Amino acid sequence: MPFGPDDWNAVLLTLKLAGTTTLLLLLFGTPIAWWLARTRSWLKGPVGAAVALPLVLPPTVLGFYLLVTLGPNGPIGQLTQSLGLGLLPFTFPGLVLASVLYSMPFVVQPLQQAFESLGERPLEAAATLRASPWDTFFSVVLPLARPGFVTATILGFAHTVGEFGVVLMIGGNIPEKTRVVSVQIYDHVEALEYTQAHWLAGGMLVFSFLVLLALYGSKARNRHGF
């Protein structure tokens, strides 16, 4: 049998991690993207650079500093211990936090571009109708920025599924708790179990192709107004 129980557990955990991370990124990334698209503050540059940092930073570097910060001697680690929450490294919540930080630019940047492409006219029209800021955002901005949300959701989910360095540094390799698909493939290769590695890697390859196909298909439909 090409897939064993450990493989299925890794797949399910990966989907759970990607789904949770994507939802959190849409929740917290949307106001960040909106602020970056609208602000004229000098902080836009530093904040935008901080959001985009995972695009150029090696995953192991981010994972290392997260491990130090969340560890028993780190500021966040000491805070979580004082609150009775324990330590986040080598736990699923720790994986989620690391994934949110590492995948943030893949959600924030498409949303920012979508918000910037709206221009001022729809917002001015809503203002003339005396719509509140919240009403304008939910009734005007969100529908017009829907293609950006589709792109952000697809990229955020897919990028989280493909993570390796960060999740290995923060989550380690604990079956059914932190062992995701990318780590499971690594384990199979280390054990010279190439058949199992082929099945998982092939599944990742097909998944990545379908994600890109859906992304480009969505962009093509939006260009043609479908």
Looking at residue 217, its pLDDT comes to 75
Integer Cα distance of 95 and 9 in angstroms: 16
Looking at residue 42, its pLDDT comes to 92
Looking at residue 43, its pLDDT comes to 92
Alpha helices of 1-74 — where are they, by DSSP H? 5-38, 44-52, 59-70
Q: Is the pTM of this model over 0.95?
A: no
Looking at residue 1, its pLDDT comes to 52
Following DSSP, what letter does each residue of 63-107 receive, concatenated?
A: HHHHHHHHSTTSHHHHHHHHTT----TTSHHHHHHHHHHHHHHHH
Are 102 and 54 within 8 A, CB to CB?
Answer: yes
Are 36 and 48 within 8 A, CB to CB?
Answer: yes
Looking at residue 120, its pLDDT comes to 76
What's CA 169's distance to the chain center, in Å?
Answer: 17
Per-residue tokens: 65 = 């500093």
**226 residues of the chain, pLDDT tens digit each:** 566 788 889 889 999 999 999 999 999 999 999 999 988 899 999 999 999 999 998 888 999 999 999 989 889 999 999 988 888 999 999 999 999 999 999 999 999 999 998 877 877 787 787 777 788 888 888 888 888 999 999 899 989 998 888 988 898 888 888 899 999 998 989 888 888 888 889 988 898 888 888 877 766 666 655 4
How many angstroms separate the most distant Cα atoms in the chain? 67
Axis crossing angle, helix 146-161 with helix 194-223, rounded to the nearest 10: 170
Axis crossing angle, helix 92-116 with helix 146-161, rounded to the nearest 10: 150
What's CA 212's distance to the chain center, in Å?
Answer: 16
Looking at residue 221, its pLDDT comes to 64
